Chain A
Amino acid sequence: MEGWTIEQLEGKDVFVIEGQVAIPNNYSAGIVGSRFLVELRDNCRIMGIRCPKCDRCYVPPKSTCMECFGQLTEFVEVGKSGTLLTFTVDHHTTPVQTASPPNVYGIIKLDGADTGLLHLIGEVDGKAVKSGMRLEAVFNEERRGSILDIKYFRPAEAG
Chain B
Amino acid sequence: MGNRVAIIGIGQTHFKSKRPDVNIPEMINEAVRAALADAEMEIKGIEAVFTGNMETFEGVCHPDHWMAVESGAFGRPGMKVGAAGTTGATVVDEAFHMVAAGVCDTALAIGYQKHDQGNATGALTTCCTPVWGAGFAVGAMQEFAKQALTYMERTGAREEHAAMVRLKADYGACRNPYAHLRLGLSSIDEILQSAYLVWPLRILDFCPQSNGACALILASEHVANRLSNKPVWIADMITVHQTQFRAGIYEDLTGRDPYSQEVAAARLYKRNGITDVRRDIDLAEIYEPSNWQEMTTYEHLYFCEKGEGWKMVEKHMTDIEGEFPVNCSGGVIATNAIGATPTVRIAEAALQIRGDAGERQATRDIKTALATALGSTNWTILTLLRRSL
B residues near A21, Cβ cutoff 8 Å: 126
A31 to B19, CA, bound (A): 10
**B123 interface residue (CB < 8 Å to A):** yes
> Which of A26, A28, A29, A64 is the one whose CB lies under 8 Å from B69?
A64
**A62 interface residue (CB < 8 Å to B):** yes
Residues of B participating in the A interface, judged by any CB pair closer than 8 Å: 19-23, 25-26, 29, 33, 42-44, 56, 58-59, 69-70, 72, 74, 114, 116-119, 122-123, 126, 130-131, 135
Report whether A17 and B117 are in contact in the complex, using a CB–CB cutoff of 8 Å: no
**A158 interface residue (CB < 8 Å to B):** no
**A1 interface residue (CB < 8 Å to B):** yes
Report whether B69 and A62 are in contact in the complex, using a CB–CB cutoff of 8 Å: yes
Report whether A27 and B119 are in contact in the complex, using a CB–CB cutoff of 8 Å: no
**A159 interface residue (CB < 8 Å to B):** no
B residues near A26, Cβ cutoff 8 Å: 116-118
Annotate A48-77 by CB proximity to B: 1 below 8 A, 0 otherwise: 000000000000001111100101000000
Annotate A1-23 by CB proximity to B: 1 below 8 A, 0 otherwise: 10110000000000101010101
List 16 contacting pairs A-B, 8 Å CB cutoff, sorted by A: A23-B59, A25-B117, A25-B118, A27-B23, A27-B117, A28-B20, A29-B23, A30-B23, A31-B26, A62-B69, A63-B29, A63-B70, A64-B70, A66-B69, A66-B74, A69-B44
A19 to B126, CA, bound (A): 12
> Which of B43, B69, B131 is the one whose CB lies under 8 Å from A17?
B131
> Which of A4, A15, A63, A69 is the one whose CB lies under 8 Å from B26?
A63
Task: For the complex of A and B, list the 5 residue pairs with the smallest distance between their C-beta atoms, beginning with the closest.
Answer: A25-B59, A30-B23, A23-B122, A69-B43, A30-B22
Report whether A28 and B70 are in contact in the complex, using a CB–CB cutoff of 8 Å: no
| Nearest CB of B to A20, in Å | 10
A66 to B72, CA, bound (A): 9
Known pairs A3-B135, A32-B26; list 6 more (Cβ under 8 Å).
Answer: A26-B116, A27-B117, A30-B21, A31-B22, A33-B23, A66-B74
| Nearest CB of A to B217, in Å | 14
Interface residues on chain A, size class: 20 to 34
A153 to B313, CA, bound (A): 65
Report whether A28 and B21 are in contact in the complex, using a CB–CB cutoff of 8 Å: yes
| Nearest CB of A to B112, in Å | 14
Report whether B117 and A28 are in contact in the complex, using a CB–CB cutoff of 8 Å: yes
B residues near A65, Cβ cutoff 8 Å: 69
A residues near B70, Cβ cutoff 8 Å: 62-64
> Which of A3, A23, A66 is the one whose CB lies under 8 Å from B119?
A23
Report whether A28 and B22 are in contact in the complex, using a CB–CB cutoff of 8 Å: yes
| Nearest CB of B to A64, in Å | 5
A residues near B122, Cβ cutoff 8 Å: 23-24
Report whether A30 and B59 are in contact in the complex, using a CB–CB cutoff of 8 Å: no
| Nearest CB of B to A69, in Å | 4
A residues near B114, Cβ cutoff 8 Å: 28
A residues near B56, Cβ cutoff 8 Å: 23
Report whether A23 and B69 are in contact in the complex, using a CB–CB cutoff of 8 Å: no
B residues near A71, Cβ cutoff 8 Å: 33
A residues near B72, Cβ cutoff 8 Å: 69
With A32-B26, A69-B72 known as contacts, the answer to whether A24 contacts B21 (CB < 8 A) is: no
B residues near A17, Cβ cutoff 8 Å: 130-131
A21 to B131, CA, bound (A): 13
| Nearest CB of B to A9, in Å | 14
Residue of B nearest to A15 (CB): B131
| Nearest CB of B to A50, in Å | 15
| Nearest CB of A to B156, in Å | 39
Report whether A28 and B116 are in contact in the complex, using a CB–CB cutoff of 8 Å: yes
B residues near A24, Cβ cutoff 8 Å: 118-119, 122
Report whether A4 and B130 are in contact in the complex, using a CB–CB cutoff of 8 Å: yes
A residues near B44, Cβ cutoff 8 Å: 69
Residue of B nearest to A27 (CB): B117
Residue of B nearest to A21 (CB): B126
A29 to B20, CA, bound (A): 7
Report whether A19 and B116 are in contact in the complex, using a CB–CB cutoff of 8 Å: no
Q: Which of B23, B29, B42, B56 has the most CB of A within 10 A?
A: B23
A10 to B87, CA, bound (A): 42
A127 to B306, CA, bound (A): 75
A25 to B123, CA, bound (A): 10
A1 to B22, CA, bound (A): 40
B residues near A69, Cβ cutoff 8 Å: 42-44, 69, 72
| Nearest CB of B to A77, in Å | 22
Report whether B23 and A28 are in contact in the complex, using a CB–CB cutoff of 8 Å: yes
A residues near B21, Cβ cutoff 8 Å: 28, 30-31
